């Protein structure tokens, strides 16, 4: 039987590099034909052949209230009817800035942008502008979008395709980027002891979601905070994934750590392009038009995107939202872990709030090296077996997964039942 997914993929490759507009979508790591998604609702989406999948990427995080939530759709429709884009300020942007500052106390002022890449890139520029220093620290396996100076030993698609540092990034652009090991406190301390006063910023995913899911240890984040404060270095939490996902206040709320700047995205756009960076007023006021650090965007604070984001931010504040989201995500990882154990497959899983990781290894990884040691071949077999059963996980072993509030018990149980069949293929 011919598949519309195959047809679309063949056509797409004629006019688009690799047939996709973002590399991981191409299924090159797992093999096979990418599914072309036609529509989505709640915890499900349907491909071009009208096959239904339980969706565990949720647009890589934004679909936290489920796909096409009626309130979000209505907010978008109403905003669109008032005009799509003005290139001038709107009340919605004021409301969103106020809401972000209220929900994330480390953010006293915020600038809205359109993508996580823009948010981290601008935060980096601000840190360098504010400190007058060149060097930055990032951690191996963390992915902060595709700005040049951050595309070094990065996770996500770069890791998936084995090119952790992108071609086309000039050595001159990255000579100031120091890459350290995630969760290695001693190495961080040694680096600060030798060149701390030259470091503009440390940027970190406080829950890494681009090398599968790897938690930062409390000691690691606390050391980072202490060392940055001591040396006048700006601490940037990249919470594009973890923000409003692992808890209402993000990973910084879970850890009780106050970064100087935070990058946000995904959930705050509710599926449309909104991202943000923000932090201490004294720092943020160095941005143009008040200060000398420049950043701008025609679609920044777009009224339709802000409407989607604001209605999503309202829905996630329903009583018990994060308790339910976290509980459902735990049920998923526990159910799959039990299914693997019953089948005799070496497997484990972890979750933080509504974000999870699946690992074909004996223990949950705490570092990039441990994560790389997982059995990628087994993941690929598992991925395709689940896909056949109508369950869509991220098409790469080095990505985190995402659960929505619409993944109820029946959905989780159906996933675990599919998992039992998939693990049986690996036993």
Binding site for ligand HOZ (CB under 6 A): 22, 24-25, 60, 156-157, 210, 399
Catalytic annotation present for 197: no
64/130 Cα distance (integer angstroms): 35
Q: Select 279 or 365, whichever has its Cβ closest to ligand HOZ.
A: 365
Nearer to ligand HOZ, 133 or 146 (CB): 146
Least Å distance between CB 206 and ligand HOZ? 16
Q: Is the Cβ of residue 208 or residue 236 nearer to ligand HOZ in the bound state?
A: 208
Nearest distance in Å: CB 116, ligand HOZ: 9
Residue 294, Cβ density class (10 Å: 0-12 exposed, 13-18 middle, ≥19 buried)? exposed
Catalytic entry in 47, 55, 238, 260 = 238
In the annotation, is 4 catalytic? no
Who contacts 335 (Cβ-Cβ below 8 Å, separation ≥6)? 412, 413, 415, 416, 419
Nearer to ligand HOZ, 25 or 135 (CB): 25
Q: How far is the CB of 159 from ligand HOZ (least distance, A)?
A: 10
Residue 390 Cβ, how far from ligand HOZ at the closest point, in Å? Answer: 21
Ramachandran bin of 61, using left for φ above 0, alpha for ψ from -120 to 50, beta for the remaining angles: left
**β-strands 207-208, 214-215: how paired?**
antiparallel
Nearest distance, CB of residue 24 and ligand HOZ, angstroms: 5
What is the dihedral angle through the alpha carbons of 301, 303, 309, 314, rounded to the nearest 10 degrees? 120
Q: Is 51 a catalytic residue?
A: no
Q: Which is the catalytic residue, given 266, 359, 368, 392?
A: 266
Closer residue to ligand HOZ in complex, CB, 13/187 = 13
Q: Which of 44, 53, 143, 368 is catalytic?
A: 143
**Closest residue to bound ligand HOZ by CB:** 22
Q: Where in the sequence numbering do the catalytic residues fall?
A: 143, 238, 266
């Amino acid at each position: 039987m011919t598949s519309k997914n195959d047809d679309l993929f063949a056509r797409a490759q004629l006019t688009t590099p690799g047939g996709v507009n973002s590399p991981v979508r191409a299924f090159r790591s797992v093999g096979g034909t990418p599914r072309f998604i036609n529509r989505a609702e709640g915890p499900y989406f349907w491909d071009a052949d009208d096959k239904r999948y339980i969706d565990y990427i949720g647009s890589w995080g934004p679909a936290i209230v489920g796909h096409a939530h009626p309130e979000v759709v209505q907010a978008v429709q109403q905003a669109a009817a008032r005009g799509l884009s003005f290139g001038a300020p709107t009340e919605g942007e004021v409301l969103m800035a106020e809401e972000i500052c209220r929900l994330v106390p480390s953010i006293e002022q915020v600038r809205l942008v359109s993508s996580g890449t823009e948010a981290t890139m601008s935060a980096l520029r601000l840190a360098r502008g504010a400190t007058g220093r060149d060097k930055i620290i990032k951690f191996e396996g963390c992915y902060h979008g595709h700005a040049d100076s951050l595309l070094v030993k990065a996770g996500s698609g770069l890791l998936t395709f084995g090119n952790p540092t992108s071609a086309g990034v000039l050595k001159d652009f990255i000579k100031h980027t120091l890459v350290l090991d995630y969760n290695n406190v001693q190495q961080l301390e040694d680096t600060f002891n030798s060149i701390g006063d030259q470091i503009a910023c440390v940027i970190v995913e406080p829950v890494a979601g681009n090398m599968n899911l790897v938690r930062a240890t409390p000691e690691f984040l606390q050391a980072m905070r202490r060392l940055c404060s001591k040396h006048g270095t700006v601490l940037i939490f990249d919470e594009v994934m973890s923000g409003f996902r692992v808890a209402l206040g993000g990973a910084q709320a879970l850890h009780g750590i106050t970064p100087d700047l935070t990058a946000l995205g995904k959930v705050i756009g509710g599926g449309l392009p909104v991202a943000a960076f923000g932090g201490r007023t004294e720092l943020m006021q160095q941005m143009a038009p008040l200060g000398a650090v420049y950043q701008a965007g025609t679609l920044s604070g777009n009224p339709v995107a802000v409407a989607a984001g604001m209605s999503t931010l309202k829905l996630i504040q329903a009583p018990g939202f994060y308790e339910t989201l976290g509980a459902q995500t735990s049920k998923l990882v526990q159910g799959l872990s039990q299914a693997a154990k019953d089948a005799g497959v070496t497997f484990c899983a972890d979750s933080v709030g509504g974000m999870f990781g699946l690992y074909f290894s004996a223990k949950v990884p705490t570092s990039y090296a441990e994560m790389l040691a997982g059995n990628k071949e087994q993941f690929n077999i598992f991925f395709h077996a689940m896909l056949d059963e109508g369950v869509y996980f991220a098409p790469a072993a080095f990505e985190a997964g995402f659960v929505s509030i619409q993944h109820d018990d029946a959905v989780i149980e159906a996933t675990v039942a599919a998992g039992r069949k998939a693990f049986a293929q690996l036993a």
